[in-house]
Amino acid sequence: MDPLEARSKYVMKGVALYHPVTIERGANAKLYDVNGKEYIDFTSGIGVANLGHANPELIKAAEEQLKKLWHMCFMVVNYKPYVELAERLAKIAPGSSEKMVLLQNSGSEAIENAIKVAKQVTGRPYVVAYENSFHGRGTYGYALASTGKYKPYKTGFDPLIPGVELIPYPYCYRCPFKQEYPSCGLACLDYVKNWFSHTRVPPERVAAFVMEMVQGEGGFVVAPRDYVKELKTFLEANSILLIDDEVQAGWGRTGKMWAVEHFGIEPDIIATAKAIANGLPLSAVIGKREIMENTSPGSFGGTYGGNPVACSVAIKVVEIMQRDRIPERAAKLGDIMRKRLEEMFEKYELIGDVRGLGAMQAIELVRDRRSKEPAADETMRVINKAREKGLLLLRAGVYLNVIRLHPPLTIEEDNLMRGLDILEESIREVVS
């Protein structure tokens, strides 16, 4: 049976398929389907394979650990890969505070447990997250409730877990307050301080704010630096923790190891996953020691969290990131991407906005630059044409009109340029 037919017959429909192709193997920034067709991968499995597909050093790390220990629950006995990775994560986390670490399996679990930490330590019941955000759909809990987009993630799951409030994100291209940055005076933050806090949830009842410094599924929306700095000042004044969601934006993607490093603040807790083990199931909650050491023994953990094989690969990921200066390389790749996208912006009215940090770049497509009417159908047409030409892309955004570029950070420059050429060819054909 054809693999796509088998998928249609045996896999539940709730698991959507973005590209109707069946991939057999990968090699750095290239993917090959079962028919031998080659694709340049601008998805990295949604920001996961930052060090490329079938990275030989990571394969070796996995093989060596597989020969020693596949699994042992970390709550039953201690083992070295978990502890060694925790130490490395604590040392590379941003800020001067000492850190402690919890390992889990997925981004959703990282968010769930980061919020659990905040609630348990502060004794406060509420969490504040952002509209247009994505914090996970792998659980029916805080990750889903904190996600600021209804369809398709929350469809049919009402009512969601209580105690999560959503506020407007500083999405300057589509400001919900109809302002222009920077002359807006950070109206979205003023709303939080002077309206939301008085009408919805007072600060003394809030355990944490959960925030992506760059919204991933929301369309690579970058928060203004002054917004983040002033928000952190407000949170500290009210003893509210800041949970930094680095699930998609972390691990060198933005040109720094952590996206939050662009903003000059130290978060209280970081939730990270995706690229941490370059595709093996693993996630981490990294928090300030004074927070993490006040958690209750036995209230956190999981059978597979911190699997020794995944941890061993993640240790090698950290080593390669530092040794090969991968974040710096991502910054250079990002400069190339940004230049090409801005050139496209000048040529094609279909592109309404270009934005991002480092190698986390995106274009938002609109039918009219003045009205900013989302061009969702055109976005899908561009993506489909690109796939036909051998380039895999992803869309995002609340209106599904954003094309996000997610190449491996190890991509060869000629493949990056060819991918950008295909993207432009596809846009040209859609607008012609």
Residue identified by tokens 């390389």 is 329
For the chain, give the mean pLDDT.
Answer: 97
Percentage of the chain lying above the pLDDT 90 cut: 97
CA-to-CA separations, 219 to 26, 369, 385, 400, in angstroms, rounded: 26, 17, 20, 8
Q: What is the pLDDT of residue 299?
A: 95
The DSSP string of 289-350 is: HHHHTTSPTTSS--SSTT-HHHHHHHHHHHHHHHHTTHHHHHHHHHHHHHHHHHHHHHH-TT
Peptide bond into 159 cis (omega under 30): yes
Q: What is the mean pLDDT of residues 100-104?
A: 98
pLDDT tens across 211-258, in order?
Answer: 999 999 999 999 999 999 999 999 999 999 999 999 999 999 999 999
pLDDT tens across 332-348, in order?
Answer: 999 999 999 999 999 99
pLDDT tens across 163-187, in order?
Answer: 999 999 999 999 999 999 999 989 9
Q: Which domains does the chain have, with CATH numbers?
A: 3-54+325-431 (3.90.1150.10), 69-324 (3.40.640.10)
Give the pLDDT band of residue 64 (cuts 50, 70, 90). very high
Residue identified by tokens 């009205």 is 371
Q: Is the pLDDT of residue 197 over 90?
A: no
Write down the pTM of the prediction: 0.96
Q: What is the pLDDT of residue 185?
A: 87
Percentage of the chain lying above the pLDDT 70 cut: 100
